Structure 1
Amino acid sequence: MLCFVAACSNGEKGEGGEEGVSTYTFFNASSTGKDVNTAETKIGKMFEEETGVNFDIEHIVGDSNQKIGTMIASGEYPELLNAQNATNDVIDAGGFLPLNDLIEEHAPNLRKLYDPIWEKMKQEDGNIYILPSGVSNGYIKPPNIGQSAFFIRRDALKEQGYPQPKTIDEYFDIIEKYAKAHPTINGADTIPYTILQYDWHVGQLFDPPAFLSGEQEGIMVDNETLDVSVHHNQDITKNWLQKLNELNSKGLLDKESFTQNYDEYLAKISSGRVVGWFGPQWESAAALDTLEQDDDPYNDFMGFPIVFEEGIKDQYLNPESYVTSPGTGLTAGTDEEDQVKIIKFLDHIAKVDSQKLITWGIEGETYEVNEEGRFYRTEEQIEQVSNKEFADEFGFTALGWYWPIMSGTFDDGNSVDPEVQPEVAQLSYDEVDKEFLEAYNIEVFTDLFTEPDPAPWFPFWDAVIETGSEAQLYDQQSRDLIKQSYPDIILADPAKFDAQWNSFKQEFEKLPYKAYEQVIEDSVKKEASLME
């Protein structure tokens, strides 16, 4: 077993030097961030006192697949691992331990938390290896955009009289007008529209065709028949790439879109020089948090559910979902005594009181409860928990997502996520937020978005794709082909666009995408049947 810290122990002195405390390592390939020991946070210290366990959390630096590949090759792993896109590779290599019996014997709270998706979590061999975050306990429409949308700089909207773009042409028109009027922002060249395409961050380029045509994220699923098709070789993708080609020909596309890394992308967003971008809000959250501290509140962004044409019903908001991967698992090489300690720690996290502590904090300190039992935060508390330093020190950052966490609502009707609680959302809005809400005649920002249609199969990326299969071959080869070809198509002379697209399509048609579609379709139909 790979111990990243000297304190990896069986009841010996932990990192803090306390007798009886066991310190383990949790390597998180799904997130960048500051490495920290959970006991250095307020919540984590409480959990340590209650369980005798803490974790050194290490985050990915560089290529996550390369890092996980090294673990697989050596057979040495941290005790807890979130392997992100390489999850199935670790399972295939025997790197994750089966959790069924551990949970049944030692973790009644985990068993209850995962009960709605217990069968869905099982691999083909019947074993559960991964504990996902976000186990749904009922749908609640978020007041603010946390997932994908087409975002645009607020200053551009204000300057042009608060237009409400609905189509992609209207959206890019706003960007073009603003960029021409403001060739520089904050003393540097304006970046009209940028794209992140780095490592596993590919959704900003891959996903828009589906959203623009009124589909839910990532793939085409007929909700009546549950038939599945990829869209990379379809006209909707051609139309999207042609829009970007036109944008580039006008000098409005960031030329570094296909070479910048994640940190460089975040730096651009936080600089206030970017006018528009597409993607999930959480992917750019670190940069947006920086912008919120800016002296100019109009540097921030507002998201819109953009479609190709008027009349298409948008489906940007995620439906109630039952995500089972990626997630976190215990790794091979962890001895039985440590397995029990770790699973009991995770079971402690799964208690309702612990879940409320992780998401809401401490009553009277980070939230209040009114006479009707509704949770809320005062303006002072909202400002406090919004401070990254406070969130880090309290433990909201270290012990939130990527651990076993519920989503939706608690049984008492309060939202699991405080930001989704109406009482909190309304108080969270500053004067500029209220200015935009009033200008668009809405109460919360998602009022512009259509409520999602039910999709019991969602999310499709839960499908198990066997290593070495045609579907897996397509998954990798299509990513490689797209990463190579899309920039050439987008950056081509407009007169050569059709030729570039046809060349790509010919190469794409050689890939075993039908095998991939069949695997996803089988999974979609199976997942839907498990929720009946």
Structure 2
Amino acid sequence: MKRKFLYPLWVLFFFVAVVVLVACSDDEEAGTDEGENSQEETGSESDEPLTLTFFNADGEEKAFDDPVAKKITEKTGIKLEMDYPVGGDEEAIPLMIASGDYPDLIYAKGDIGKLIEAGGVIKLDDLIEEKGDHLKAMYGDQIDRLRNSIDDPSIYTVGTYGVENAHWETSGTFQVQLDVLRELGYPEIRTLEDFEQAITEYYEMYPEIDGQETIPLSLLGSDWRWLITVGNPAGFAAGLADDGQWAVDNDTGETTYKFLLPEMKAYFKWLNGMHDKGLLDPESFTHTHDTYISKLSSGRVLAIADQNWNIGDADKALVADGKDWRTYAPLPVTLGSDYQSQALKDYGFAGGWGIAISSTSEHKEEAFEFLDWMASEEAQILTNWGIEGENYDIVDGKRVMHEEDRERMNTDADYAKETGVGYYVYPFPQWGNGAVDSNGQSITPNTEQDIIDNFNSAEKEALSEYGMENWIDWFPQTEDLETSKHGSVANYTIPSGSDVEIIQQKADDLTEQRITQMILGDPADFDDSWDAMIDELDAMNIEKANQDMTQMTQDIMELWGTN
């Protein structure tokens, strides 16, 4: 009886087990299919990079698809969709504010104040404290220089300028063709008088170059670069630091609109004389940037007063065409021996402008984490050097740039754009020239020795004739110049709608127009025209702007603890 009872029970258990197993198997298969599909979808989403929109006021048309960009995406999971102001449009930020439609990341330059006032960007203090380890390490005790103002000491931006800045080269100075120096027996050129004499003598010797009329001096005053090639050189000739439209007493912070100074009159009167003598390119205030670069690239422009970044394409074109002697040497030129070039001045970390995160971004934390990663050693090496094995190798424990890459960096205007090497340094957080990594190696491929090694053959020969290794050798040295206590006024965020903003804009518009007219006018009318311009500046209450800017400079010095 017992056996008869157990047998059917065993059979029952067997069939129940089979049914359960089959059911479970079906459920597991269904669940597995669903789970795998779900994982595949989730995996697909997580593997797909997050796109952050980025407006760059200094940007250009460019996709985030070069090798360095792809490596950044691989490391961060972030892809940038980059936008820029078409045709130098100055209304891009005001239009953003009016529409309330902001990208995730914004580099607004001097318009950052407008965004802060409009509530268009967020404060970064808490994020830096909670998860900004790389940024805190980068800025160290200079982090206060990121703060907005003494009234609102919050941090809204990071990046743009190097925290450390070694002064191994100059930019923005007067420059003359190397062949001028060679033909004239390598003269000393330290004053405007020396400068004029050199280009005049060479022009008389060679009225044509390669079948085209020689141009003794050319400027670019037809657009915003008026400030770069006309306004700024006037201050540099007067021994002023690069404080934009202002002259600053480094001890007291007293700040003056620089075009009020008698030295400015002296410089522009000289430039008026150059025009009257036929030594200034008559198209200096009408030609486009492309035309200007084309003239420089032809090798027939003897002298300029410009920033290196503005003439880079021309310099590379000249070297590529084998015209090394038509490239330019920087000069420590001033109004006279009583003035000292400030080309190698140490401004410290500039602070001020930088990249902000918009208040409307749906990815604020991801955007911040991306900016923090860009401040990391890994990112700094990647953005400066490129990809190991593709752009550089490790030789005896040190990074060595491939010769082809080094060559293209110096001769190919599209190198950075095509490879990404060096392209994402500015305006992102950057350690700067002179900084070293955890192994003591330069964070950039541009040590002073690299710069010296990269001089073209004509530069090396000219430097040898002068008994110098580097062009900076004939400039007043950084250690002999005062370190700025206020950074540079050119980087200040001027409060939107303030008296100083309104007055300066009017003053800038006036001086650009009037000074251009004076340079191109009859020398006999220059003094009266200058006096009339000063009267116009007084009438628009330029003294009020001086007072307000002085207070702003002094506030910066207090905020930074340098007063």
Q: 1:172 aligns with which of 185, 196, 200?
A: 196
Task: Provide the C-alpha distance between the structure 1 equivalents of 2:222 and 2:84, rounded to a whole number of angstroms.
Answer: 17
> Which residue number corresponds to residue 188 of structure 1?
212
Contact 2:172 2:233 in 1 (8 A): no
Task: Provide the C-alpha distance between the structure 2 equivalents of 1:385 and 1:18, rounded to a whole number of angstroms.
Answer: 36
Answer yes or no: is 1:508 the counterpart of 2:506. Answer: no
Q: 2:342 aligns with which of 305, 315, 326?
A: 315
Amino acid at match of 1:432: A
Measured after TM superposition, the shift of residue 260 of structure 1 is: 2.9
> Which residue number corresponds to residue 8 of structure 1?
none
Q: What SS does the corresponding residue of 2:359 show, helix, strand or coil?
A: coil
Residue pairs, 1:49-60, within 5 angstroms: 49-60=74-85
Contact 1:192 1:274 in 2 (8 A): yes
Residue pairs, 1:476-515, within 5 angstroms: 476-515=505-544
Measured after TM superposition, the shift of residue 350 of structure 1 is: 0.9
Which range is displaced more, 112-121 or 155-164? 112-121
Task: Provide the C-alpha distance between the structure 1 equivalents of 2:102 and 2:345, rounded to a whole number of angstroms.
Answer: 33
**The structure with more radius of gyration:** 2
Q: 2:426 aligns with which of 369, 386, 401?
A: 401
Measured after TM superposition, the shift of residue 379 of structure 1 is: 4.6
User: Runs of 5+ in structure 1 lacking a partner?
Assistant: 1-11
Measured after TM superposition, the shift of residue 206 of structure 1 is: 1.4
Q: What SS does the corresponding residue of 1:475 show, helix, strand or coil?
A: helix
From the superposition, tell whether residues 518 and 55 of structure 1 become closer, same or farther in structure 2 (CA, over 3 Å). same
From the superposition, tell whether residues 19 and 414 of structure 1 become closer, same or farther in structure 2 (CA, over 3 Å). closer
TM-score (normalizing by structure 1)? 0.88
1:273-307 C-alpha deviation (Å, 9 max, x unpaired): 22111122122223222222122211111110101
> Which residue number corresponds to residue 241 of structure 1?
268
TM-score (normalizing by structure 2)? 0.84
Answer yes or no: is 1:156 the counterpart of 2:156. Answer: no
Contact 1:65 1:85 in 2 (8 A): no
Task: Provide the C-alpha distance between the structure 1 equivalents of 2:461 and 2:89, rounded to a whole number of angstroms.
Answer: 41
Answer yes or no: is 1:519 the counterpart of 2:519. Answer: no
Q: 1:432 aligns with which of 439, 453, 458?
A: 458
Task: Provide the C-alpha distance between the structure 2 equivalents of 1:245 and 1:195, rounded to a whole number of angstroms.
Answer: 13
Contact 2:138 2:163 in 1 (8 A): no
From the superposition, tell whether residues 410 and 523 of structure 1 become closer, same or farther in structure 2 (CA, over 3 Å). farther
> Which residue number corresponds to residue 294 of structure 1?
321
> Which residue number corresponds to residue 30 of structure 1?
58
Which range is displaced more, 168-177 or 16-25? 16-25
From the superposition, tell whether residues 361 and 282 of structure 1 become closer, same or farther in structure 2 (CA, over 3 Å). same
From the superposition, tell whether residues 236 and 469 of structure 1 become closer, same or farther in structure 2 (CA, over 3 Å). same
Measured after TM superposition, the shift of residue 54 of structure 1 is: 0.9
Contact 1:36 1:57 in 2 (8 A): yes
Corresponding residue pairs, total = 509
Measured after TM superposition, the shift of residue 203 of structure 1 is: 2.7
Amino acid at match of 2:539: K
Task: Provide the C-alpha distance between the structure 1 equivalents of 2:215 and 2:97, rounded to a whole number of angstroms.
Answer: 41
Which range is displaced more, 22-31 or 373-382? 373-382
Amino acid at match of 1:60: P
Q: What SS does the corresponding residue of 1:207 show, helix, strand or coil?
A: helix
Task: Provide the C-alpha distance between the structure 2 equivalents of 1:450 and 1:343, rounded to a whole number of angstroms.
Answer: 41
Answer yes or no: is 1:528 the counterpart of 2:557. Answer: yes
Report the structure, 1 or 2, having the larger helix content. 2
Residue pairs, 1:9-48, within 5 angstroms: 19-31=47-59, 33-37=60-64, 40-48=65-73
Measured after TM superposition, the shift of residue 389 of structure 1 is: 4.2
Task: Provide the C-alpha distance between the structure 1 equivalents of 2:512 and 2:304, rounded to a whole number of angstroms.
Answer: 18
Task: Provide the C-alpha distance between the structure 1 equivalents of 2:532 and 2:422, rounded to a whole number of angstroms.
Answer: 46
Contact 1:366 1:385 in 2 (8 A): no
From the superposition, tell whether residues 58 and 158 of structure 1 become closer, same or farther in structure 2 (CA, over 3 Å). farther
Q: What SS does the corresponding residue of 2:163 show, helix, strand or coil?
A: strand
Measured after TM superposition, the shift of residue 488 of structure 1 is: 1.1
From the superposition, tell whether residues 207 and 389 of structure 1 become closer, same or farther in structure 2 (CA, over 3 Å). closer
CA-based RMSD: 2.6
Task: Provide the C-alpha distance between the structure 2 equivalents of 1:215 and 1:183, rounded to a whole number of angstroms.
Answer: 34
Task: Provide the C-alpha distance between the structure 1 equivalents of 2:271 and 2:116, rounded to a whole number of angstroms.
Answer: 39
Measured after TM superposition, the shift of residue 339 of structure 1 is: 1.3
1:343-379 C-alpha deviation (Å, 9 max, x unpaired): 11111111112112211234555445666x6655465
Which range is displaced more, 347-356 or 211-220? 211-220
Amino acid at match of 1:135: G
> Which residue number corresponds to residue 450 of structure 1?
476
Answer yes or no: is 1:110 the counterpart of 2:121. Answer: no
From the superposition, tell whether residues 369 and 52 of structure 1 become closer, same or farther in structure 2 (CA, over 3 Å). closer
Measured after TM superposition, the shift of residue 229 of structure 1 is: 2.1
Task: Provide the C-alpha distance between the structure 2 equivalents of 1:76 and 1:84, rounded to a whole number of angstroms.
Answer: 18
From the superposition, tell whether residues 498 and 226 of structure 1 become closer, same or farther in structure 2 (CA, over 3 Å). same
Percent identity of paired positions between Structure 1 and Structure 2: 28
> Which residue number corresponds to residue 83 of structure 1?
108
1:446-474 C-alpha deviation (Å, 9 max, x unpaired): 11111232112121223332222221122
1:469-493 C-alpha deviation (Å, 9 max, x unpaired): 2211221011110121011111111
Amino acid at match of 1:195: L
Residue pairs, 1:281-430, within 5 angstroms: 281-335=308-362, 338-363=363-388, 365-367=390-392, 376-377=400-401, 379-386=403-410, 387-407=412-432, 408-410=434-436, 413-419=440-446, 421-430=447-456
Q: What SS does the corresponding residue of 2:259 show, helix, strand or coil?
A: coil
Q: 2:235 aligns with which of 197, 210, 214?
A: 210
Task: Provide the C-alpha distance between the structure 1 equivalents of 2:540 and 2:554, rounded to a whole number of angstroms.
Answer: 23
Measured after TM superposition, the shift of residue 62 of structure 1 is: 1.2
User: Runs of 5+ in structure 2 lacking a partner?
Assistant: 1-39
Q: What SS does the corresponding residue of 1:237 show, helix, strand or coil?
A: helix
